Amino acid sequence: MADNSRKAALPPLRIALAGLGTVGTGVIRLLEANGAMVAARAGRDMRIVAVSARERSRDRGIDLSRYDWHDDMTEMPAREDVDAVVELVGGSDGPALTLARRTLGAGKSLVTANKAMVAHHGLDLAELAAQNGAALKFEAAVAGGIPVVKGLREGAAANAIEQIYGILNGTSNFILSAMEDTGADFDEMLASAQERGFAEADPTFDIEGVDAAHKLAILAAIAFGCRIDFASVETQGISRVRAADIRQAATLGFAIRLIGMADTEEQEGMTKLLQRVRPCLVPKDHPLAAVDGPTNAVVTEGNFSGRLLFQGAGAGDGPTASAVVADLIDLARGEAGGETSAPFSVPVADLKAMPPADPSGRKGRTYLRFTVYDRPGVLAEITAAMRDAEVSIESLIQEGRSDDGSEVLVAMVTHEGPEGCVTKAIELLADAEGLTAPPLVMPILQA
């Protein structure tokens, strides 16, 4: 009979922390505020022994004198007094990747919030972790403080996952729900998000769907046991969504949300993977329609669990630090058994390469919005293209002229039909002279 109640006498888990931005300082603040409780739950103390960041002198409001400072973060894994490294530097390559490789190569565990690095190099890093008996943990890389990596990898592990989708970018969701609340247009709400710290000075990764695509590619690998394939995520951002689209969608009973969605399909005798990040029309009675502000939410449909929803803060120093320290507690508890070989739920060698699925045969309803010159015949041109592509229109709304009188907005919702027909209709209109800009196409979420 082993007496595991003496676990509290285990030596501390010794941590090197790279990156002292808001999340890094958040981790330090969390361990200061909740240290005794974290130690009680982890069964041992957590001790930060070394830190590194770009600037040593910056005032971060915390006392760094207790920790050894490294100008070169990539030296830290070699320290004999380090058991685990926390990487909060960011960037898919560069020092973060060097640090990750050295950590795992030294047989030490890595905890990271770096979605770009995991999306691009997660498989190599997982391989390295397995070879060296180390754990690779990245709860904080997906959906901030929401334990969705754990929920999917462990909580839903008994299920064949049929679909995973959700709101994976807090900045975009803040902007879309603010547009909904205020009636203001995209540019104005982006500026407001920037002022309030919900969007970065260069918001491209957030508003163009790249950040959500990183997270989706990671979730898809865990859900479907496939190799991460970030490059194949079809990505469309929210910068072309207008106040008028949100208004039309609301009239029809929908909210607009940036949705990352992945599922698989048998095509040509193979399992293929569809991964998409797109603004979608979400029915008002769907839980995702009610998710507002910088909140994230992930829905997964398991063949036994049914629908599971995980919701919470998708970013921010506190929530992200919460996820980082949860990973450290797992390591300290010794609950990372399978993670040394299978951070993506199955060993890397067993992850299947899944080619991108062709979505053209999928049936669904679609919202299409055209901006057109206010002159005769344009509507006929659009509806003729729809007819020729066999797209059946369920409803059509034509708005009055824009304020400057230069264009008219035409929005329509199709009946359920194959996606390929909508794509064809858009192609037929590629050279249409009546359009002032390419049409905006948004699927209607069916769930």
Q: How far is the CB of 435 from a second copy (least distance, A)?
A: 39
Residue from 2, 61, 202, 268 in contact with a second copy (CB under 8 A): 2
Please check if 8 is assigned to a binding site.
Answer: no
Identify which of residues 24 and 302 has a Cβ nearer to a second copy in the complex. 302
Q: Which amino acid is present at 415?
A: H
Is 142:148 a contact under the CB 8 Å cutoff? Answer: yes
Residues 114 to 133: which contact a second copy by CB under 8 A?
A: 130-133
Identify which of residues 147 and 434 has a Cβ nearer to a second copy in the complex. 147
**What's the rounded Cα separation, in Å, for the pair 83 and 81?**
7
Please check if 18 is assigned to a binding site.
Answer: yes
Among all chains, which residue has been given the structure tokens 């008996």? 133
Is 225:351 a contact under the CB 8 Å cutoff? Answer: yes
Please check if 182 is assigned to a binding site.
Answer: no
Please check if 115 is assigned to a binding site.
Answer: yes
**What's the rounded Cα separation, in Å, for the pair 423 and 413?**
14
Identify which of residues 19 and 43 has a Cβ nearer to a second copy in the complex. 43
Q: How, if at all, do strands 254-267 and 270-283 pair? A: antiparallel
Residues 68 to 107: which contact a second copy by CB under 8 A?
A: 107
Q: How far is the CB of 321 from a second copy (least distance, A)?
A: 6
SS3 78: helix
Identify which of residues 236 and 340 has a Cβ nearer to a second copy in the complex. 340
Please give the helix or strand (H or E) that residue 411 lies within, else none: strand 408-414
Instruction: Encode 228-256: b = buried (16+ Cβ within 10 Å), e = exposed.
Output: bbbebbebbbbbebbbbbbbbbeebebbb
Closest by alpha carbon to 281, among 200, 383, 188, 395? 395
Please check if 258 is assigned to a binding site.
Answer: no
Residue from 12, 90, 287, 364 in contact with a second copy (CB under 8 A): 287
Q: Which of 108, 150, 215, 424 is catalytic?
A: 215
SS3 372: strand
Q: How far is the CB of 267 from a second copy (least distance, A)?
A: 20
Task: Compose the 35-54 pattern: x for residues touching a second copy by CB under 8 A, - for all others.
Answer: --xx-xxxx-----------
Is 236:278 a contact under the CB 8 Å cutoff? Answer: yes
Identify which of residues 32 and 81 has a Cβ nearer to a second copy in the complex. 32
Please check if 361 is assigned to a binding site.
Answer: no
CA distances from 21 to 10, 28, 30, 201 (A): 31, 11, 14, 16
Tokens of 78: 């070699």
Identify which of residues 169 and 295 has a Cβ nearer to a second copy in the complex. 295
Residues 301 to 340: which contact a second copy by CB under 8 A?
A: 302-313, 316, 318-319, 321-326, 328-330, 333-340
Residues 135 to 194: which contact a second copy by CB under 8 A?
A: 139, 145-147, 150-151, 154-160
Identify which of residues 299 and 372 has a Cβ nearer to a second copy in the complex. 299
Q: How far is the CB of 317 from a second copy (least distance, A)?
A: 8
Please check if 200 is assigned to a binding site.
Answer: yes
Closest by alpha carbon to 117, among 102, 103, 134, 138? 138
CB-neighbour burial class of residue 285 (10 A; exposed 0-12, middle 13-18, buried 19+): exposed
**What's the rounded Cα separation, in Å, for the pair 311 and 298?**
6
If one asks whether residue 198 binds a second copy (CB under 8 A), the answer comes out as: no
Residues 338 to 367: which contact a second copy by CB under 8 A?
A: 338-342, 345-347, 349-350
Is 28:62 a contact under the CB 8 Å cutoff? Answer: yes
SS3 19: coil
Active site residue 108: no
**What's the rounded Cα separation, in Å, for the pair 22 and 16?**
17
Residues 289 to 308: which contact a second copy by CB under 8 A?
A: 290, 297, 302-308
Please check if 97 is assigned to a binding site.
Answer: no
Q: How far is the CB of 328 from a second copy (least distance, A)?
A: 8
* Total residues at interface with a second copy (CB under 8 A): 79
Closest by alpha carbon to 105, among 76, 83, 79, 133? 133
Backbone angles phi and psi of 320, in degrees to 5: -70, -40
Q: How far is the CB of 12 from a second copy (least distance, A)?
A: 15
Q: Which residues are annotated as a binding site for NADP(+)?
A: 18-25
Q: Which residues are annotated as a binding site for NADPH?
A: 115
Q: Which residues are annotated as a binding site for L-homoserine?
A: 200
Q: Which residues are annotated as a binding site?
A: 18-25, 115, 200
What residues act catalytically?
215
